[in-house]
Chains A and B, each alone.
Chain A
Amino acid sequence: MTVPAAVRTARRRFLLIGCALPAAITLVAVGLMVAWLPEVPPTVATHWSGSGPDGFGPAWSVPLGTAVLGFGLVALFTGIMLVGTRDGRWGPMLRLLAALSIGTNVLLVVGITWSFGLQRGLADPLDAPGIGLPLLVSTLLAVGAGVGGWFAQPNVTAEGRTPARTVEPLDLAAGERAVWVRTTMMTRGGMVAIIVSIIALAIGTVVVAATGSAAWWVMLGVTVLLVVLAATTFVFRVRVDDRGLVVRSPLGIPRFGVPLAEVEAVAVTNVHPTAEFGGWGIRLAPDGAFGIVLRAGEALQVTRRNGRRFVVTVDDAATAAALLEALSARERVDPPAR
């Protein structure tokens, strides 16, 4: 299959807005800062609090850090796009990613470069002026760049080489009742990454508490919240029966679903988490699609009466789709008196 012209245009626009422009901005900023190196003190302010500079580092580290951060983010966003759209798919999430790429880049690069430039001619970095104005302006510029980046891209949606496929409804007898259930789980790698980061945060909390800082209880709160979120979103039970589709965590909450009367169409799709939903977990895509995305690959997709999609990654989605299709067809012919 050749990639449609619209997708090729969208991809070129992504490469311009999400990759080439931010890379060029980073290059110019790093060039400027390297040129300014002889004019700034050997140690410069790199962090500010409300009352003035409170973090310092060697001057050369600022252009270096900007290069690493700027080019690194460009590589990350571009990598997500290249890997996620290998099969020719395209969607509004990618449009958002390119806009985010240029927006974050402008925020970081303009903010850092300006605060660096302010220190030219200073003998002591402690005299560095406040960065309220640079922060404000770079934020405004970043929002402008992001919004502009969004509108400079075409609104293209393409399914690529693995389109959502509809399935034949299950052959149900008139009075036959059926239920399909399946447990869907986050991949082991994802769970390990989340557990490790929670443990790191817990250790951080203990360390902060030991230093007597009052911030420890905030960190404790965040740790507890993350544990609860992880415990309720690692595993979901997916069920299809004559009430419709229900996806719920083993604890009962959170719970999501589509009632049978709301089901417009059912399909099996192939989800690419970052390219379609911007990541893993319970996600809302820019086009209004709601996803419970615990891994890449096979997923059950239900289109609601209002056109919005509900997607849950689960194995054996074809059987679930066949049953839901049969049940909703039956409901359409003979709606129950409720």
Chain B
Amino acid sequence: MLIRVDPTSGTPIFAQIVASVHADAAAGRLNPGDRLPSARDVAGALGVNLHTVLRAYQELRDEGLVDMRRGRGAVVTEAVEPLAHLHHDIAALVARARTLGLAADTLAALVKETYR
């Protein structure tokens, strides 16, 4: 799985980590039962605070995307499957938006609006 954070972006770091895991799930890089890397490893590799990563993992647990078990770390649940199913649709939609010259935020806002 790929986790990326941009400290210069306005989005909080923990939210960027959550978004990375969502993207991993949507790209089919995560399967139920997979274990996320330990929060300490992620914090070390990204040069961010351990608590920031833990906060992101808690967020993912609250969403039901991972299961936190003592001694087993964060384990991906069945909830990733719907995300992976949308992978091709999302890729197609983004490609279409790009050719039409739509910004990412505009597309996100449109999707949110339609979903409501």
Main secondary structure of the interface of B (DSSP, over half): loop
Is the CB–CB distance between A175 and B8 below 8 Å? yes
Q: For this complex, into which size category does the number of interface residues on chain A fall?
A: 20 to 34
Q: A241-B45, A316-B29, A319-B29 are in contact. Are A180 and B1 (CB under 8 A)?
A: yes
Q: B41: which of A173, A239, A323 is its contact (CB, 8 Å)?
A: A239
Report which of A174, A175, A180 forms a contact with B2, defined as CB distance below 8 A.
A180
Known interface pairs A316-B29, A319-B2, A323-B2. Does A179 touch B45 (Cβ–Cβ under 8 Å)?
yes
Given contacts A183-B35, A239-B41, A239-B45, contact A178 B29 (CB under 8 A): no
Query: What is the chain B residue whose CB lies nearest that of A320?
Result: B2
Residues from chain A with Cβ under 8 Å of B1 in the complex: 180-182
Docked CA distance A172–B4 (Å) = 9
Q: Which of B4, B35, B41 sits near A177, CB closer than 8 Å?
A: B4
CB pair B37 A176 closer than 8 Å: no
B5 on the A face (CB < 8 A): yes
B7 interface residue per 8 A CB criterion = yes
A178 in contact with B35 (CB, 8 Å): no
Bound form: Cα–Cα A172–B7 in Å: 12
Q: Closest residue of chain B to A243, judged by CB? A: B45
Interface centre among B27, B29, B34 (most CB of A within 10 A): B29
Chain B positions 1-16 with a Cβ under 8 Å from a chain A Cβ: 1-9
**Assembly CA distance A178 to B41 (angstroms):** 12
Query: What residues make up the interface of A, taking CB atoms closer than 8 Å to B?
Result: 170, 172-183, 237, 239, 241-243, 316, 319, 323
Give me the interface of B with A, judged by CB distance under 8 Å: 1-9, 27, 29, 34-35, 37, 41-42, 45-48
